[in-house]
Structure 1
Amino acid sequence: MSGETVCFAKTVLLGLKNNFGRTGWGEASAAPLMTGETIESLSANIKYLASNIKDLNWDNPDEYGQQLGKLLYANSSAKSCVEMA
């Protein structure tokens, strides 16, 4: 990507609300040539992760990232989006 200018990117914006009413936001852009993730794969994997994070340990951020890795191999942008939110 260092040799080109990106003027438009397909992006997923995710909002998650916890039981206390707090909302967190995350975003990820499709980059099929860099990460292999398309807008379709991002959307599907973010939905999958979001539906499976309720039972994860939220006390330690380092452990949370590792737990996301156990739920889904690779797909770093999708996992980053959920982790940001």
Structure 2
Amino acid sequence: MARVVVDVMLKSEILDPQGKAVHGAFGRLGFEGVADVRQGKRFEITLDGEVTEDRVAEIRKAAETLLANPVIEDFEVHVEADQ
């Protein structure tokens, strides 16, 4: 079995209220030196069998239509090594 990961983040020009709240909490809790926080989503998709370019392309299409809103979010698809 193999794992394909889709990381989804709001585009940089989109306000991230959850990220701002976490950033504020860092300071209140005594964690210093944190310039910014952006919050996102991670999808781990386990596939049966071998990961091919066609299968990754299929996951990329799913990301575009199901996992991310391409108007306000960017996403990256990558294959994790077997563990």
Larger relative CO (CA 8 A, sep 6+): 1 or 2? 2
User: Normalised by the size of structure 2, how large is the TM-score?
Assistant: 0.35
Structure having the higher strand fraction is: 2
Structure possessing the higher radius of gyration over alpha carbons: 2
